[in-house]
Amino acid sequence: MAATPQQTQNAENVYNTIIKMLDSINFNYETDTSGDMFMITLTVNGDDLPMKVFIFVRPEREIVSLYSPIPVKVPDDKRVEMALAVAMANDGMIDGSFDYSLSKGEIRFRLTESFVESLLGQEQFRYMLGVSVNTIDRFNDRFLMLAKGMMTLDQFSEAISK
């Protein structure tokens, strides 16, 4: 279903608020407003690994989604184990979650916020970015160690429960 003019206007407002937030903290980013949604791409330096972040503003659904792929390709023989690790990581998380493609061995962090009848401020998007970076930083090296056989699932469970 196509977005209404009001939904498109709301999405533009949200998009502009995110851009202002990124400008205020001097982040470099790229934008793509040519499609039926607004996209912003940026790279954030975490404690361990750089993180690529994609932000989609979807007018017809009135949501903003932040996706960040984890730079780990899970080998075939570790894919079931990684599914259990992702379940452990998500369980107890307060906001956001890791999506895991079993068939591709790919993991990404996802955090979504709705702007249905709501005006979201820059603080909200700063929070989204901050919580995403913190959560990814907490887990990405552990996912990597598990994928490389440098950590067992039991060790992963112990490490994240601390």
Partner 1 sequence: MPATEQQLRMGEKVFSTICNMLDANGFRYETDTSRSDPMITLSLKSDIFPVKVIIFVRPERELVSFYTPVQLKVPEDKRVEIALAVTMANERLIDGCFDYTLFKGELRFRITAGFIGSLPDQEQFRYMLGFSESAVKRFTELFLMLTKSVMTLEQFYEAIAK
Q: Applying CB under 8 A, which residues contact partner 1?
A: 61-63, 65, 80, 83-84, 86-88, 90-102, 110, 112-114, 116-124, 126-128
Phi–psi pair at 131, nearest 5 degrees: -70, -35
The nearest distance, CB 146 to partner 1, in angstroms, is 14
- Residue 2 or residue 116: which is nearer to partner 1 going by CB? 116
Distances 122 to 20, 92, 136 between C-alpha atoms, Å: 7, 27, 21
The nearest distance, CB 24 to partner 1, in angstroms, is 13
Contact by Cβ (8 Å): 28, 53? no
- Residue 51 or residue 64: which is nearer to partner 1 going by CB? 64
Rounded to whole angstroms, how far apart are CA atoms 121 and 92?
27
- Residue 48 or residue 98: which is nearer to partner 1 going by CB? 98
The amino acid that residue 71 corresponds to is P
